[in-house]
Structures are given as structure tokens and as C-alpha cells.
Structure 1
């Protein structure tokens, strides 16, 4: 009788052990199944930032350190001129790298906007920068470039000799050329009528004057798009203007197609 009870206890004990093992294995199998069905966890914001940084670095390097043609097509200046401009802005205007944006990227974004009329929202999608970052650095580069206008944009000098080229003999006494250009602008709705040009676009009529070497001598922005070219020219030569366009006596400027190919003589 005692041996039967002992044997029965052993049998029950073995049964409990087997059931425990089966339950444990079932739990493990269930966990393995759930893990296999679970979506892979993302790498988080660090991985996203790293991807954006790599993409941005590749695009910028391909732009101003790639081929000469690609640089000129996108930035509208040569590679050498781009790097010279960045050095000039660093040394003369105090433009510096920020924590996340270097001077070269700031200047590249600025040139893309002014060279192609590119919207900042398009830059945001391409270079993975926020609108606030793009706008801040655009304004920073703009202020730096405007601070150098007195060094590069100067009124003409009558003592400058024209290039030694037979083509210029037809323009004796001329110091350069001037022309007008319409630039699209965004203005309040009540003022859009004055800025709407003959092509029904809202723009400003800008006057530009260059010398024989295509260096700017004078720029007058801000005129309404509806203003005629002759009106813009007369406005630039008003004597009561602090920044009046003055032509030296005995000299002239060749006028562009917008000004009917006449020669501008001093009054």
C-alpha cells in the first residue's frame, strides 16, 4: 500500500513537471510569434538627421565642387568666383559658420533664390532645412552683400579708357551701357495695380548701368512695374536725389533695347 502511494506521488510529480515545461515552451513560442509579427522599430530622429545631413552635403558638394558647368547653371557664377565670394564675405563682412550651417551653404541658398527666383519652400524640400533657417541665412547673406555695395558699385569715371577692340570704335565717347529689367515682387493687394506691368505680372522695373567690363556702375531698384523705361531713367537723373545717376560731361552711355538704341547725353 505504501509503495503504491509513493509511486502515485512520483507519477503526479512527473506530470506536473511535464505540464510546467509545456507551459513554458508555449509562452516562449507565443513571444517568438509576437516578436516576428512586430514592425521593425525606427532608428529615431538621430538617423533622420544623419540622412538629411548626408543628402545635403552631397547636393552642395556636387553643386559648387562638381563640374564647372553644373556650378554655373545652378549658382550663375563659376566655381572660382563662388569660393572667392565666400572668402570675401568671411573676411570683409564677418559672415561666419553657424552651428549647423557653413558659409558656403548660406551663400549657395542665397544664389539659388536670386539667380533663379527659386521659392524658399522648394529649398526646404530639397535641402531639408526649415523655412525659418533658410529665411534667416538668406537675410544674413543679403545684408553682408549690401554692405559692400559702395566698394563695387561706383559712378563712372571719365578717365577710363575703352578696351582695345575694333568693335568699340562705333561707340566713341561711351562709358558703358544701361538697360532695364523687370523683377517679380510680392506687394500688398492695394498696391498691385501700380506694380503690374504690360505683361500683367507684378514686378519692379530696375535700371542697371555697366561699364565696358560688365561691372555695375549704378543700380536703381524699386520703381513700379507700370513705370515706363524713360520715366525710370529720368527719375534716376533727378538732381535732388542723393543717389542720382550722373554722366560725366562729354561722355555717353549706350542704351539697351528697352531704351530704343539712343545715346544718352548729359543735359
Structure 2
């Protein structure tokens, strides 16, 4: 009887020992699987990050030609944009996205008319990350308008530039241009221009030194230039054109400036008039006469 009891106890102990060993082995296997999974995940993240970093470095550091082809700016201008966005636009890097990558994604989107999914696939990012960083960069870009948009100065009477001296008191020159866009096929009709291209009508105003003063994008390509100009003059914080001619005392570089913006009357409507036509014809005739005089004196 004692032998039977001892054998039963021995078998019970063996079963308990086997159970303990089995549990230890299962725990060790689970730990090993978790460890290998974490290592593989970290390694995969590192590989993706390295691939992303190499792609960004190739875009912005390989050469000026490649950078201008892909981002429409050279490396120097790209660095200037990053510094201005950081100092003036208060754009900073995040935990996982660098400042160079944010600006690169923004410029690449504008340069190639890519949608959110294409940019996310190209830069190996989620669509939510691309959308959020694009909007942050866009808000920072808008903060640069006071530094990027040139404040016009009238052409002085003593101007010696042959191209501009006939335009006394002129502040700027404006014109419309078409910029190609990618639109859903159902909405292409309104954006189709008279040249059968899908584009938007953009109003641009430049100073004589070719620096932008005012830009109004977003109008459909089928919109007439007069309609775009009228909207630019009437919208809040729009294009402001002084109604009266600039006086000589205001054209000088005098530090005393007693006139405020509220006292200046600006053009807000466009009316049909022959004033510009007559001025253009007179100016054309004067330029032709001056050219003919120079030709005769030269011969």
C-alpha cells in the first residue's frame, strides 16, 4: 500500500513538474516571438525611414538641375524658403517629420499637381500626415506675404530707363495668365480656356523690377479678364489702386508722410472709357516719333 501511495505521489510531482516546464517554455516562446516582432518592426521602420531620407536628400541635395526639375526651385532658394518659414512663418519640425520633408512635400505637390494619395505613396507617409503637414506649410507660406510681396513705388520724372521713362507715375503693370490645373472630368468645362486647355485664370501685378505686388489665383479659365480684375478691386483686402495721380511730393523719398491709408481714395469700380485708348495711342505715336528721330540722327 505504501508503495502505491509513493508511486502516486511521484506521478503527481512529475505532472506538476511537466506543467511548470511547459508553462516556462510557453512564456519563453511568447517572449521570443514578441522580441523578434519588435526587432523586425523597428528594423522595418528604420528601413522605411532610411529610404525616405535618401529620397528627400536626392530631391534637394543631388544637384540644382534635379532640384529645379522636381521642386521648381534650386537648392539655394529651397534653403531660403525653409529659413523664412522657420523664422517668419513659425513652421517647425515634428517628432517624425523634418522641416525639409514638410517643405519638400508641399513644393512637390504644387510642382506636379499630385493628389494626397500619390504624395503619401511617394514619400511613404499616411494620407493624414501629408494633409496635415501640407496645411501647416500653407498657413506658414501665407504669413510671408508682407516680406515676399513688393510694395510699389511710382516711376519718377528723372527715370532714365528707356523701357519705363514714358510711364511717369506708373506704379505697376498687371496682366492675366493661364496656369494648367488638374480637374475632375465633370468640372472641366468651366476651366477650359479659349485655347482648349484646362487652366485657371490668374491675375498678376508686377513692379518694373519684376517683383510681384499682387496675385489673385483660383478663377476658372473661362472667366474673362475684366471679371477677374473687377473681383480683385472689390474684394476685402483686394488690389488697391489710387484713384488720383501721385503728386511729386509723394514721389520723393521724404521721411515725413502725413497721409494715412484712410485718406487715400482707391479705385473700386471699372467703367467703360476711352481715356486709356487715347493715352495708349498717344504714347505709341510718341514712342514711334522718338525712335524715328534716333534713327535719322544715327544715319
1:219 is aligned to 2:215 = yes
- Would the aligned equivalents of 1:162 and 1:212 in 2 still touch at CA under 8 Å? no
Which of 128, 138, 147 is 1:132 aligned to? 128
For the structure 1 residues 132 and 67, does the alpha-carbon distance in structure 2 shift closer, same or farther, using more than 3 Å as the test? same
The structure in which a higher percent of residues are strand is 1
- Would the aligned equivalents of 1:158 and 1:248 in 2 still touch at CA under 8 Å? no
1:53 is aligned to 2:53 = no
For the structure 1 residues 169 and 216, does the alpha-carbon distance in structure 2 shift closer, same or farther, using more than 3 Å as the test? closer
For the structure 1 residues 85 and 199, does the alpha-carbon distance in structure 2 shift closer, same or farther, using more than 3 Å as the test? same
* TM-score for the superposition, normalised by structure 2: 0.59
* TM-score for the superposition, normalised by structure 1: 0.65
1:62 alignment partner in structure 2: 58
Counterpart Cα distance in 2 of 1:94 and 1:230: 37
For the structure 1 residues 163 and 69, does the alpha-carbon distance in structure 2 shift closer, same or farther, using more than 3 Å as the test? farther
1:44 is aligned to 2:28 = no
Counterpart Cα distance in 2 of 1:70 and 1:242: 38
Which of 60, 79, 82 is 2:78 aligned to? 82
- Would the aligned equivalents of 1:95 and 1:144 in 2 still touch at CA under 8 Å? yes
Give 1:20-31 correspondences, 5 Å limit: none
Give 1:75-114 correspondences, 5 Å limit: 75-114=71-110
Report the alpha carbon displacement of residue 217 of structure 1 after superposing the two structures with TM: 0.2
1:119 alignment partner in structure 2: 115
Counterpart Cα distance in 1 of 2:195 and 2:210: 28
Give the number of equivalent residue pairs: 212
Counterpart Cα distance in 1 of 2:149 and 2:178: 20
- Would the aligned equivalents of 2:194 and 2:222 in 1 still touch at CA under 8 Å? yes
For the structure 1 residues 204 and 156, does the alpha-carbon distance in structure 2 shift closer, same or farther, using more than 3 Å as the test? same
- Would the aligned equivalents of 2:113 and 2:182 in 1 still touch at CA under 8 Å? no
Tell me the secondary structure at the aligned position of residue 93 of structure 1: coil
- Would the aligned equivalents of 2:233 and 2:240 in 1 still touch at CA under 8 Å? yes
Report the alpha carbon displacement of residue 61 of structure 1 after superposing the two structures with TM: 1.2
Counterpart Cα distance in 2 of 1:129 and 1:209: 37
- Would the aligned equivalents of 2:201 and 2:217 in 1 still touch at CA under 8 Å? yes
Which of 228, 231, 236 is 1:235 aligned to? 231
Deviates more, 1:168-177 or 1:146-155: 168-177
Counterpart Cα distance in 2 of 1:161 and 1:187: 51
- Would the aligned equivalents of 2:200 and 2:219 in 1 still touch at CA under 8 Å? yes
1:178 alignment partner in structure 2: 174
Select the structure with the greater relative contact order (CA < 8 A; seq sep ≥ 6).
1
- Would the aligned equivalents of 1:162 and 1:175 in 2 still touch at CA under 8 Å? no
Aligned residues: CA RMSD: 3.6
Report the alpha carbon displacement of residue 246 of structure 1 after superposing the two structures with TM: 1.2
2:250 alignment partner in structure 1: none
* Gap runs ≥5 in structure 1: 1-40, 252-261
Tell me the secondary structure at the aligned position of residue 218 of structure 1: strand
Report the alpha carbon displacement of residue 88 of structure 1 after superposing the two structures with TM: 1.4
